[in-house]
Amino acid sequence: MKTSVFALSLLGGVSVAAIAVAQEAHQLDPVSVSGSEVGGALVVSDPQPTPKSSVTKAGIDLLGGPAQTSIYKPFDLMPSVMAESPDPFGLSPTRNINIRGKSNFHLSSNVEGLPLTGIVGGADLFDLENVEQMDIYRGGAPAGQTLGISNAGGGIDQRLLRAQDKFGVQAKQAYGSYDFRKSFARLDTGALPETDTRAFISFSSTANDKWKGSGDQDRINTMLGVSQELGERVKVDLAAVYNKYSANTYRSLSYAQTKNLKGNYRYDYNTTLTGTNATDVNYFDFNRSQYENYATLATVDVTLAANHHLLFKPYYWNSNGVTYGQTSSGGAGVQVWHQQNDNLGGVFEYNGNFSTGTQLSVGHWVQQMAAPPPPTDQKKYTVTANGGLNFANWMTLAKIDPFIVNSPYVQATQAIGKTTISGGLRYMILGAPSMQYYNTAGLPNVSYDQIWGYNPTPYADAAVRAKDYAELLPNIGLRHEISPEWSASASYARKFGRPDWGPQASNYINNRVAFQAKGVSLQTLVDKVKPELSDAFDVSARYSAGGLTVVPTLFFAKNQNRQVKVVDPAISNLSYYQGNAETTQYGAELEVSYEVSNTLTVFASATQASETYDADTPTLSGGAIAGTKGRQVPNAPQTMVKGGLTYRWADLSVSPVVRYIGDRFGDSSALERAKGYTVADFFAGYDLGKEVGLSSLSAGLSVLNVLNRRYVAEVAPNDTDLSSGASYYVGAPRTIVGTVSVKF
């Protein structure tokens, strides 16, 4: 297969970025990419009718950042994608990815096709060194892909690097700015004699200081993988991971503070205690989070006959964490939120390729998710004169049943001459739980399990009935080869976004008197949010010849039941969510690459997009109406341009990269403008292996934000928020990291 390249290359552990485009084919099998491509560092497009882009292993090494932990960073050079964070290393939980103007709130984030993580809690589970491929769906997806309780914002998936056939050791050490350091090691056993078992174990330790204020970030990760064939028909792959993470959070700026970035650039949480509670709640160590995660997943592949397989893919994930932060209501204090999530699920799937050329996939996904959200328990503490925390009261106490998901699906694909047609249907049933909140007055400072011995009184007005949300999600795609150089494709898919019950419950419990005065119960608020539905269309063409690849794409979507946060003057200016907005989304993407010679490749991507509200947004009380009609949704840049080049000489590779992100707004009234920014990065790598007689010994250098620009990197809340008062996080200054890696 001749593969067109849209790439950045790197020799070594960190460096460079890559985009490549693979020539069309009719199969749905994984894309095969020649190792002779530029540096092996590629992002490729999948040949199936429904559009998908993939970052290969070499591309992950380059795009994943120095820490190699963030599932968002590898996609940052793709069109219509904006990865946001104040942290240069990708370790901070303060981050977002925006795809075609939509935030990660409705993003399906999977591992091996499984929605392994729950709704909230924990950091990235896997070291990217253990990930072989990462996929992203910016538009629609086949029925068995982007499984999860939300995929309205698109989907991403990590494909793990499984146990290898040959014995091998990999080690990497990185150091950089702000005391950044990462140590990573992986041992593969190869195929063991007698049993033919393949296994690997890896360990990593990653840490750095915050680049402003006080505090740090620490992460410990251990992973085990085993592959085993049981006879000629059964193959089992098992992976287990343990991840422990703690971090002090970055402090945001108000919109007024962004008007003077120079003066407020290093604004952060307080580094000293004053003895005054209202001030000391902003002490850096009272604004942090920590999580401990355990997860395991498996794939049991049973060959029924040639080209016919039955798959069973069970998984389990548990997260135990706590978050500290300033209370949003009820006076100055530190809120402590314990988050204990427990998720158990599995996918049963049949895959068959028939002699007629038909490919068929039939499956069923089930999952049980223990809350939160919404929060089951939150406590408030005040800061003592000596800097300790003194229990004040329970803020939230609830019993919430598990969420139950059932989702059968079917997908069929047929090649007819030079045309491939694929279509499918998924039935999404999201079982929302019953919820009961309790009066916390006078309850003592004991654990969640112990508090029930004190017989708290249930609120009659703060109970929510269990409810099933069910939707049919069809998809269809078509790809046609016009000539050896030209092809065209079109696709449609309906996507699903879960309602967000969490803020509704928190807002209600904190403001019961005001809501009750207007005859509003918690059930009333919960009923106002419902699943977002997005009907997405994509049309694209591709030209590929003589080292030049050009891929223009047009996309369009109608979004209904769009969840938005409003402020209601008729209910004491309280905020809450509603699922009553409709938006129209459209835009164009362009990917261009040109392999000038064996030593020089240039590349670029561009996006011009819009998503605006179709009408003004009424409030629950029927009072004031938010003037949203025709307004761009918050935190959605209309223009993005990215590009760079890679030059290779002997064993040296260098690549400058530039990203321009256009203006965004922090509010639906388009009054708070976050100015566009341009950031340049530089990467270099050198292969030392030949000089010392090793198969692989590499050194790499990464310089992020070369020109040391000051800019707003992240806007939060994101595109669901119609209220003012958004938080703005500045981008990190110039950051330099060096890496040495070895394999043998």
Burial, 2: exposed, middle or buried (Cβ in 10 Å; 0-12, 13-18, 19+)? exposed
Taking residues 344-361, report their average pLDDT.
95
Give SS3 for 164: coil
Yes or no: say if 646 and 7 are a contact pair by the CB < 8 Å rule.
yes
146: exposed, middle or buried (Cβ count in 10 Å: 0-12, 13-18, 19+): buried
**Beta partners for residue 17, in sequence order:** none
Residues 6+ apart with CB under 8 A from 455: none
Q: Which three-class secondary structure state does DSSP give residue 417?
A: coil
Instruction: Report CA-CA distances (Å) from 253 to 280, 387, 707.
Output: 18, 25, 22
pLDDT attached to residue 510: 83
- 585: Cβ contacts below 8 Å, ≥ 6 apart: 100, 101, 555, 556, 557, 558, 559, 609, 610, 611
Which of 205-219, 565-579, 695-709, 717-731 reaches the highest mean pLDDT?
A: 205-219
Domains of the chain: 3-743 (2.40.170.20)
pLDDT tens for 654-678 read 889 999 999 998 887 778 899 999 9
Neighbours of 464 (CB within 10 A): 25
- Range name among 210-219, 263-272, 343-352, 595-604 with the lowest pLDDT average: 595-604
pLDDT in tens, 359-398: 999 999 999 988 767 788 999 999 998 889 999 999 999 9
Asked whether the predicted pLDDT for residue 260 surpasses 70, the reply is yes
- Cβ atoms within 10 Å, residue 105: 18
Confidence band (pLDDT; 50, 70, 90) for 464? very high
Write out pLDDT tens, residues 3-49: 332 222 322 322 323 333 333 333 333 333 322 232 333 466 665 68
Residue 83 has phi, psi (to 5 degrees) of -95, 125
Q: Which tens digit of pLDDT belongs to each residue from 630-639? A: 888 888 899 9
What is the distance between the alpha carbons of residues 327 and 332, in angstroms, rounded to a whole number? Answer: 7
Q: Which pLDDT score is estimated for 10?
A: 27
Q: Looking at mean pLDDT, say which of 137-141, 386-390, 442-446 comes out highest.
A: 442-446
pLDDT over 60 at 457, yes or no: yes
Q: Is 77 helix (H, G, I), strand (E, B) or coil?
A: coil
Q: What pLDDT is recorded for position 716?
A: 83
Token pair recorded at residue 452: 């029930």
Contact 214, 251 (CB under 8 A): no
Most confident of 517-521, 566-570, 687-691: 517-521
Side-chain-side CA neighbours of residue 477 (13 Å)? 32
In this prediction, residue 622 has a pLDDT band, given cuts at 50, 70 and 90, of: low
d(CA 540, CA 46): 13
pLDDT at 63 (0 to 100): 78
* pLDDT, mean over the chain: 87
Beta strand spans in 189-280 (E)? 198-209, 216-230, 234-248
Say if CB 442 and CB 393 are below 8 A apart: no
Q: How confident is the model at residue 406 (pLDDT cuts 50, 70, 90)?
A: very high
- How many angstroms separate the CA atoms of 353 and 360, rounded? 7
Which residue is listed with tokens 């059964």?
A: 234
Q: Please tell me whether residue 354 adopts helix, strand or coil conformation.
A: coil
CA-based nearest residue to 581, from 512, 514, 528: 528
Among 111-125, 356-370, 553-567, the range scoring the smallest mean pLDDT is: 111-125
More confident residue, 629 or 312: 312
H/E segment holding residue 337: strand 334-353
Task: List, in order, residues 6 or more apart from 76 with CB less than 8 Å away.
Answer: 17, 63, 82, 83, 659
Share above pLDDT 70 across residues of the chain, in percent, rounded to a whole number: 89
Please report the pLDDT score of residue 441 as a whole number. 93
Q: How far apart are CA 303 and CA 421, in angstroms?
A: 26
3-state secondary structure of 233: coil
pLDDT of residue 23: 31
Section 580-590 average pLDDT: 92
Which residues, including other chains, have CB under 8 Å from residue 187's CB and lie 6 or more apart? 168, 169, 200, 201, 202
Q: Closest by alpha carbon to 25, among 494, 544, 425, 537?
A: 544
Please report, rounded to a whole number, the percentage of residues in the chain having pLDDT higher than 90: 60
Secondary structure of residue 86 in the 3-state scheme: coil
pLDDT at position 228: 97
Distances in Å between the Cα of 85 and the Cα atoms of 46, 158, 204, 654 are 28, 20, 22, 25
Is residue 95 predicted with pLDDT exceeding 80? Answer: yes
**Phi/psi of residue 583, nearest 5 degrees:** -130, 155
Residue tagged 């040639």 (tokens): 306
d(CA 113, CA 157): 6
Q: What do you get for the CA distance between the two ends of the chain, in Å?
A: 30
The pLDDT value given to residue 452 = 97
Can you give the pLDDT at residue 634? 87
Q: SS3 of 366, please?
A: strand
The residue among 394, 424, 567, 437 whose CA lies nearest residue 493 is 424
The pLDDT of residue 209 is above 60: yes
Task: Count CB atoms within 10 A of the CB of residue 417.
Answer: 8
Q: Which two tokens stand for residue 426?
A: 């998924």
Of 181, 251, 182, 244, the closest CA to residue 215 belongs to: 251
**Confidence at residue 496, expressed as pLDDT on a 0 to 100 scale:** 95
Q: Flag whether pLDDT at 80 surpasses 90.
A: yes
Q: Is residue 51 very low, low, confident or very high in pLDDT (cuts 50, 70, 90)?
A: confident
Burial degree of 70 (CB within 10 A; 0-12, 13-18, 19+): buried
Q: What is the pLDDT of residue 35?
A: 27
